[in-house]
Amino acid sequence: MSTTTLGVIGTGMVGLGTARRAVDAGLNVVLSNSRGPETLAGPVAELGRRARAATPAEAASAGDLVIAAVPLAAHERLPRAELAGRTVIDPMNYAPHSDFEMPELDSNELTSSELVQRHLADARVVKALHNIGPRQLMELFRPAGAPDRTALPLSGDDPDAKKEVADLLDALGFDAVDLGALADSWRSEPNTPLYALPYVGQPPSGLTVREFVAWVQQASGVPVPAARVEELAAAAVRGPAGFRM
Ligand SMILES: NC(=O)c1ccc[n+]([C@@H]2O[C@H](COP(=O)([O-])OP(=O)(O)OC[C@H]3O[C@@H](n4cnc5c(N)ncnc54)[C@H](OP(=O)(O)O)[C@@H]3O)[C@@H](O)[C@H]2O)c1
């Protein structure tokens, strides 16, 4: 079944960016955040008749597919019961800080998506949309077969769920490259060659980490074909987990 309604939990940069692309591609979206549907009047008005606001639990129930675009530190507050049996896109990246450190991630015992899957034990988690920024997502979509179509990696333990997410990415204007199981998703996490940079090109030298993040957020998109995604994933070497500001 193809996705006609995308449930969106978390409507910050990634959730709203994905919702914008989804609406432009003809999908319906159900938006939710931590503060309640009444705080989403602005985005709903901007997105028009294909968008409505709800609670996270309602967005989880309403979506054919759901994207959980919240900080990883909030993953245990995702509505586990309503997400049971559903395919959940996990775009979350580990960014350790003083209030949130996960020894199992620091030791590389688990990938961040395995952690999310452990909480959402009855859902089918697929890691995707985590290594590209919203601005590049809005610029790089192309019709199927276009010579400069961009590919995005995905990882997951359930082949049917991965197919659903690949079909959604196709509808959004992207090819998908299957990197394997959630345990393999480190190949596209922060600190690997596939994370963010291929889609934006070379940043100026000498930036602080905060300046680098700001530069990436506003950089124009650079198309990345599937063969390059495969090459970069194969070249990845597992190092320290997480993006440290
Ligand atoms: N920014 C990027 O370029 C980028 C790219 C790829 C992946 N990511 C990853 O994607 C995720 C989202 O990033 P972002 O930049 O979009 O973050 P953000 O702008 O800070 O937005 C986070 C959203 O999550 C919501 N939220 C927090 N706790 C929640 C809860 N318990 N239930 C429901 N909603 C909750 C917030 O709600 P309120 O609005 O009510 O506060 C907010 O809408 C992160 O895990 C990040 O690592 C980010």
For residue 13, give the ligand 1 atom closest to its CA: 16
Residue 32 · residue 53 · CB < 8 Å: yes
Residue 197: how many CB atoms within 10 A of its CB?
18
Give the whole-angstrom CA distance, residue 180 versus residue 184: 6
Around 202, how many Cα atoms within 13 Å sit in the side-chain half-sphere? 3
Res 1: pLDDT: 58
3-state secondary structure of 126: strand
Q: How far apart are CA 165 and CA 184, in angstroms?
A: 17
CA distance linking residue 209 with residue 137, whole number of Å? 22
Q: What pLDDT score was predicted for residue 201?
A: 87
pLDDT in tens, the chain (245 residues): 587 999 999 999 999 999 999 999 999 999 999 999 999 999 999 999 999 999 999 999 999 999 999 999 999 999 999 999 999 999 999 998 878 889 999 999 999 999 999 999 999 999 999 999 999 999 999 999 999 999 999 999 999 999 999 999 999 999 999 999 999 999 999 999 999 999 998 899 999 988 988 999 999 999 999 999 999 999 999 998 988 76
Q: Among 13, 97, 213, which is best to mutate for testing ligand 1, by the most ligand atoms less than 8 A from CB?
A: 13
Ligand 1 pocket list (CB less than 6 A): 9-15, 33-35, 56, 69-72, 74, 77, 91-93, 130, 133, 217
Residue 241 tokens, joined: 């987990």
